[in-house]
A and B are shown apart, each in its own frame.
Chain A
Amino acid sequence: MSVTSPFVTPSASTNRIMRDVIIALVPGTLAYIWFFGFGLLVNLVLAVAFALLIESAILLLRRRPLKPYLSDYSAVVTAWLLALCLPMHSPWWLVAVGVGFAMIFGKHLYGGLGFNPFNPAMVGYVVLLISFPREMTTWFLPHDISGDMLGLDEAIAYSLGLADPGQWDALTGATPLDEYKTNLGRNMMVSEIRQSPIFGDFGGIGWEWIANWWLLGGIYLLYTRTIRWHIPLAMLGSLLLISSAFYLVDPDSVASPGFHLFSGGAMLGAFFIATDPVSSSTTPVGRLLYAALIGVLVYIIRTWGSYPDGVAFAVLLANMCVPLIDQYTQPRVFGTHRPDDRT
């Protein structure tokens, strides 16, 4: 008899979870394309294509059937998140290498989905950031500011290396986080830094709107119970607390809490990256600690580290702490350590 209880049709399934995540990513992605052009679209298509290709190749090498593993959409989600982290007009090979690393070294060498200790998208991103600093720091300004935007065909040509990159130098510029880091380093006041036209209400023009959409997408995920509240709340909460603490002390030498929350990868990280169930903590208290750690690390790296944004490193560092966190935050089992027990 190889059938046992329970005999209920489960409503949830892994690929439905991944599809909900993709649905939640769409608004922010569209906003991104609206502000910054078709570069992201090209990267996205390339990333997803490479991800599926490389994952198929690995599965064949591992002698596994393709359909059950590919149909859980986890490769698509990883590729999408990685594409969102890359500069918008990255060369095609940058996308390929990043996705390849994410799939191979971030996921399959550990045994595939469910076995990887590190967030695969972040692994891919960090490898690219360290290996190709120039390509990874060539960011474009929103077209509101730069006045021009690449069309779809131009974006494709640029990505495939068929166009001369020099002609669009005028469209590139520092990201808001870049601005802060460089100019704070030159001992400028925050009030001076914010004179730059790239800033909006909280974060940068364009960027803060995209962050809004990540927030809304995250709320959608919470509503559909795809993710739980512990990680987003703890990560944004701890980031808010630590940035408020330093801001209250000296508002002119550090960025405001609002800026931190709505810039860079904070919103995307809180709802989409840190919530990756495989690499995050599994106990309720553990998740709070894990996410709080990420929030604090993001602030530390942004303020005193050498990189403008610290979400990727923070997530990977916290991933390393997960086994320890899980070990020591095990919930109390029913009937053990009861309040009126003498031990």
Chain B
Amino acid sequence: MSTNPGPFRFHGGLHLDDHKSESLTGEIVASSLPAQLVLRVSQHIGEPNKPLVKAGDRVSRYQPLATSNEAVSAPLHSPVDGSVVAIEPRPIAHPSGHDDLCIVIEPDAQQVTAESGGNSSSEPNDLLDIIRQAGIVGLGGAVFPTAAKLQTALEHGIRTLIINGAECEPYITCDHQLMNSEAPSIVRGIAILQQILQPEETLIGIEDNKASALPAMQQALDAAQLANTRIVTIPSVYPSGGEKQLIRILTGHEIASGSLAFADGFLTQNVGTCAALTDAVDLARPLVDRVVTVTGPGVRQPGNWRVPLGTPISHLVEQAGGYAVDQPRLIMGGPMMGLPLDSDAIPVVKATNCILVLDRKDQPKVAECVRCSQCAEVCPAQLLPQQLYWHSRARQFDLAEQYHLFDCIECGCCSAVCPSHLPLVQFYRYAKSEIWEQRRKAYKSDRSRRRHEFREARIARQKALDEERRRQKREALAKKKKAPKKVKSEVDPKAAAVQAALERVKARKQEQQVVPKNTDNLSAEQQRQIEAAEQRRNRERQDKP
């Protein structure tokens, strides 16, 4: 698979107004600390974290607050010196609108903890440990634990490392500003990745609408003198920042449907993640803050801030000059794929790349699908969104799956062009979650069926054994009836057997001289009572037929 920075294109996509200049103020401002930080305990894809602290504890900056033992997880650290006010469910950024467990910290007035020196090892395993313990996750929005991703990639072998500086969604400029202001940090992060993965080449994809970022990155790259690493300028088409699309643009290669990039020897990392790696390795800083763009027609002074995790959105909007509209619509993310939020008390998490504030205006009305197929013309995954729509709507989810529903990256291009304003992406999300629920139910009912069948088999076997024993007893009884009656003086064989057994037991007991625990330190009276009971028992046994 030769990699060639030729002008490869992907099917579909949209040219959108990028609205980037509003928030490119030329710097990343350090966000001030709010009165309380609300840190969601799990801010990654994978197994949830459990808190390590409890309400009332004092915590220092960079102290781990929550971890998990599973491989696909990332610990959470405290961004500040402070005290834990509470650990309780709080509103978070999730489409369900439900709460999730959060650690609420009140920062101290004075922040004293300083950064310590970094590590000098360049061993892949050491670096992976540092990355894992630093809680670094993919900052492009997917928040997959970086250490786990690198571990899998390392085991598989990576040929081409791809650095994602595309940032194709309108309004978002956090990566752009990061590349402008902190290019050396990003390039150092790329070097760390190269130390771990040893790829044959590294391609940095940057969209051509980032005029200031290209020279900054090029300068940093020249200074670092990394081998086999180059910047490739790519056309500004949404969604060129999607992993599969980016790989296609940069190398012409298509990742197979249903498979992940590392299977073909590719690994992609966002530029923000690279900068976080530098902090973790060189400065021993875990992931406690990130660059967030606050922008949109709904705020007065858009810009980019470096925000401590757990900062409520209202605090950011305040720093951005406050709301410019009466009815703001808050979105975490960009206009194409972002998550709408109910309240501005919701805190920033590792996934928050942008807070977009739009004006809630008149909504377009939904009309019938006229099968114009403009959706198929723009789909970057080359799907037939129309078919997916019909089948999802009719709840024929198996047909939707046949039309490759799970290849949909939910980019929103289809909904954006639909002349009938159909909420297409919503249909696909609905269909996917229904299919997942069906799979969960099928798994559960399979288990129940197997348990039930085993139980039936067990009961049947028990019955058969019982039948067998009863049959044997009946036969024995019948035989006994046929045989002549025994003389009373003769010993009843059954009673004799019982007696023999008792004597065997007594003999064994005497041999072992087992002293029952509860008969230690017995008084004479108790001893006599026990013996009397024993004698009674013996008599009853002999009296029994």
Check A4/B425 contact, CB under 8 A, given A14-B419, A282-B386: yes
Check A278/B244 contact, CB under 8 A, given A6-B412, A333-B407, A335-B407: no
A4 touches B423 (CB 8 A): yes
B417 touches A10 (CB 8 A): yes
* Selected contact of B382 from candidates A1, A6, A13, A332, CB within 8 Å: A332
Looking at A1, A277, A335, A338, the one whose CB has the most chain B CB atoms below 10 A away is A335
A328 within 8 A of B: no
Complex CA gap A10/B412 in Å reads 12
Kindly list chain A residues whose C-beta atoms are within 8 Å of the C-beta of B421.
Answer: 10, 13
Complex CA gap A112/B331 in Å reads 36
A68 touches B415 (CB 8 A): no
B371 touches A114 (CB 8 A): yes
* Selected contact of B374 from candidates A3, A12, A334, CB within 8 Å: A12
Residues facing B in A26-81 (CB within 8 A) are: 68, 72
Kindly list chain A residues whose C-beta atoms are within 8 Å of the C-beta of B423.
Answer: 4
B381 within 8 A of A: yes
* Selected contact of B381 from candidates A6, A8, A333, CB within 8 Å: A333
Query: Chain B's interface: helix, strand, loop or mixed, by majority?
Result: loop
Check A10/B374 contact, CB under 8 A, given A1-B342, A16-B419, A338-B254: no
A335 touches B256 (CB 8 A): yes
A341 within 8 A of B: yes
Proximity bits, A295-319, B CB within 8 Å = 1, else 0: 0000000000000000000000000
Known A9-B364, A114-B371, A335-B257; 20 more pairs at CB < 8 Å:
A1-B340, A4-B95, A4-B426, A4-B429, A5-B333, A5-B412, A6-B412, A6-B415, A7-B358, A8-B412, A14-B368, A14-B370, A15-B367, A114-B369, A278-B371, A282-B384, A283-B376, A333-B407, A334-B10, A334-B381
A-B contact pairs, 12 of them (CB 8 A): A1-B342, A5-B331, A5-B335, A5-B415, A7-B329, A7-B338, A10-B421, A14-B368, A333-B257, A333-B382, A334-B244, A335-B381
A335 touches B244 (CB 8 A): yes
Q: How far is the CB of B333 from chain A (nearest CB, A)?
A: 8
* Selected contact of A341 from candidates B256, B329, B369, CB within 8 Å: B256
* Selected contact of B416 from candidates A6, A15, A113, CB within 8 Å: A6
Q: How far is the CB of B262 from chain A (nearest CB, A)?
A: 15
Across the A-B interface, give the 6 residue pairs with the lowest CB-CB distance, nearest first.
A6-B412, A335-B257, A114-B368, A12-B419, A277-B372, A334-B382
Check A17/B255 contact, CB under 8 A, given A283-B376, A334-B407: no
Complex CA gap A115/B369 in Å reads 9
Select from chain A the residue with minimum beta-carbon distance to B369: A114
Proximity bits, B243-262, A CB within 8 Å = 1, else 0: 01000100000111111000
Residues facing A in B210-229 (CB within 8 A) are: none
Select from chain B the residue with minimum beta-carbon distance to A280: B371
A7 touches B425 (CB 8 A): no
Residues facing A in B419-462 (CB within 8 A) are: 419-421, 423, 425-426, 429
B418 within 8 A of A: yes
B372 touches A17 (CB 8 A): yes
A6 touches B96 (CB 8 A): no
Cβ-Cβ contact count across A and B, 8 Å cutoff: 135
A6 touches B337 (CB 8 A): yes
Complex CA gap A120/B421 in Å reads 24
Complex CA gap A266/B380 in Å reads 35
* Selected contact of A72 from candidates B333, B367, B418, CB within 8 Å: B367
Kindly list chain B residues whose C-beta atoms are within 8 Å of the C-beta of A8.
Answer: 16, 335-336, 412, 416
A5 touches B407 (CB 8 A): no
* Selected contact of A282 from candidates B258, B371, B407, CB within 8 Å: B371
Residues facing A in B320-338 (CB within 8 A) are: 329, 331, 333, 335-338
Residues facing A in B353-389 (CB within 8 A) are: 356, 358, 364-365, 367-374, 376, 380-384, 386
Check A6/B407 contact, CB under 8 A, given A13-B421, A336-B256, A338-B256: no
Looking at A4, A283, A336, the one whose CB has the most chain B CB atoms below 10 A away is A4
Query: Chain A's interface: helix, strand, loop or mixed, by majority?
Result: loop
Which B residues are within 8 Å of any A CB, using their own CB? 10-11, 16, 95-97, 244, 248, 254-259, 329, 331, 333, 335-340, 342, 356, 358, 364-365, 367-374, 376, 380-384, 386, 404, 407, 410, 412, 415-421, 423, 425-426, 429
Size bracket of the A interface: 35 or more
Complex CA gap A224/B170 in Å reads 25
Q: How far is the CB of A300 from chain B (nearest CB, A)?
A: 27
Complex CA gap A178/B544 in Å reads 119
Complex CA gap A13/B96 in Å reads 30
Which A residues are within 8 Å of any B CB, using their own CB? 1, 3-10, 12-17, 68, 72, 112-115, 277-278, 280, 282-283, 330-336, 338, 341
Kindly list chain A residues whose C-beta atoms are within 8 Å of the C-beta of B382.
Answer: 331-334
Looking at B10, B95, B371, the one whose CB has the most chain A CB atoms below 10 A away is B371
Complex CA gap A165/B96 in Å reads 71
Complex CA gap A115/B420 in Å reads 14
B384 touches A330 (CB 8 A): yes
Kindly list chain A residues whose C-beta atoms are within 8 Å of the C-beta of B417.
Answer: 10, 12
Complex CA gap A257/B9 in Å reads 39
Kindly list chain B residues whose C-beta atoms are within 8 Å of the C-beta of A277.
Answer: 370-373
A335 touches B370 (CB 8 A): no
Q: How far is the CB of A249 from chain B (nearest CB, A)?
A: 38
Complex CA gap A1/B331 in Å reads 13
A5 touches B365 (CB 8 A): no
Select from chain B the residue with minimum beta-carbon distance to A16: B419
Complex CA gap A341/B404 in Å reads 18
Select from chain A the residue with minimum beta-carbon distance to B415: A6
Q: How far is the CB of A121 from chain B (nearest CB, A)?
A: 15
A331 touches B257 (CB 8 A): no
Select from chain B the residue with minimum beta-carbon distance to A282: B373
Complex CA gap A1/B95 in Å reads 6
B404 touches A17 (CB 8 A): no
Select from chain A the residue with minimum beta-carbon distance to B430: A4
* Selected contact of A334 from candidates B257, B373, B425, CB within 8 Å: B257
A283 touches B373 (CB 8 A): yes
Check A336/B95 contact, CB under 8 A, given A7-B358, A13-B421: no
Select from chain B the residue with minimum beta-carbon distance to A286: B373
Q: How far is the CB of B388 from chain A (nearest CB, A)?
A: 11
Check A7/B335 contact, CB under 8 A, given A13-B367, A331-B382, A335-B407: yes
Check A278/B370 contact, CB under 8 A, given A1-B342, A334-B244: yes
Kindly list chain A residues whose C-beta atoms are within 8 Å of the C-beta of B257.
Answer: 333-336
Kindly list chain B residues whose C-beta atoms are within 8 Å of the C-beta of A14.
Answer: 367-368, 370, 419-420
Complex CA gap A7/B356 in Å reads 10
